[in-house]
Structure formats: structure tokens, C-alpha cells
Amino acid sequence: MLCVDDEVVGLQVRKLILERSGYTVLTALDGPSGLTIFQENPVDAVVLDYSMPGMHGGEVAARMRQAKPEVPILLLSAYMGLPAEVTDLVNVYMTKGEGAPVLLQKLGSLFQNKERQIVSS
């Protein structure tokens, strides 16, 4: 799994939570670094922050979709009501205030949906 967030503390906390739940986690502090890691490593899901300097999560998600459209993306934001052109690019959108239990539940459902797609293909 790849986590991309410019907030170091939030990124470290999220990595710890995900690793304790059994995920292997790669991290990036900005969009360009996240795209490089995404391209060069097998990534089974992405947890992506929306508000980052230089390249926001919507731009990162669009490029990820072009490169590997099958990889599920969960977009995190401190903001409610992101534009549809952004939320349509991702599988799941949630606010950072929803917390770790919701993050883990939404990731679990992403992986279940991915497995269902593989089985039905």
C-alpha cells in the first residue's frame, strides 16, 4: 500500500496504524514522489491526501488512473464537498476527521471489492 501526504505526523501515524493491521506501507511526502513510488513498485492500494502543495490529490489520482487504473485509491481530505471531477477519480473519499477505524473499514471494503472483481472476471 502507498500513503501520500505532506503532513509528516499524519503520514507516520497512518503508516503505523496500517502496519499494525497487517499492511505493508510505502510512504511519500508529495505528489511527484508518490507517483514515482507508484510507478516503480507493486502497489495494491493508495491512501492519498487531497490538499498538498504543488500537486493536489486530484492531479495525483488522475495520473495514477492513467498508469494503473486497477489500483484502488482512497482519497483523504480535511475538506467536505470536493468537486465531482476529483471524487469521481477515486474509489473511496473520506474526511480525515473520520478517524482510523473508518479508514481501516473502508480499506477492507476496497480489498473485498477488488477480490470480487478478480473472481468475477
Number of independent structural domains in the chain: 1
Q: Residues 83, 6, 63, 23: what is their CA dihedral angle, to the nearest 10 degrees?
A: -100
**Over the stretch 21-69, which tens digit does the pLDDT of each residue have?**
999 999 999 999 999 999 999 999 999 999 999 899 999 999 999 999 9
Domain that holds residue 75: 2-120
Smallest CA-to-CA distance from 112 within 64, 60, 45, 67 is with 45
Residue 72 has pLDDT above 90, yes or no: yes
Residue 96 has pLDDT above 90, yes or no: no
3-state secondary structure of 48: strand
Between 119 and 115, the higher pLDDT residue: 115
pLDDT at 114: 60
What CA–CA distance (Å, rounded) separates 93 from 22? Answer: 22
pLDDT at 115: 53
Q: What is the CATH number of the domain that holds 13?
A: 3.40.50.2300
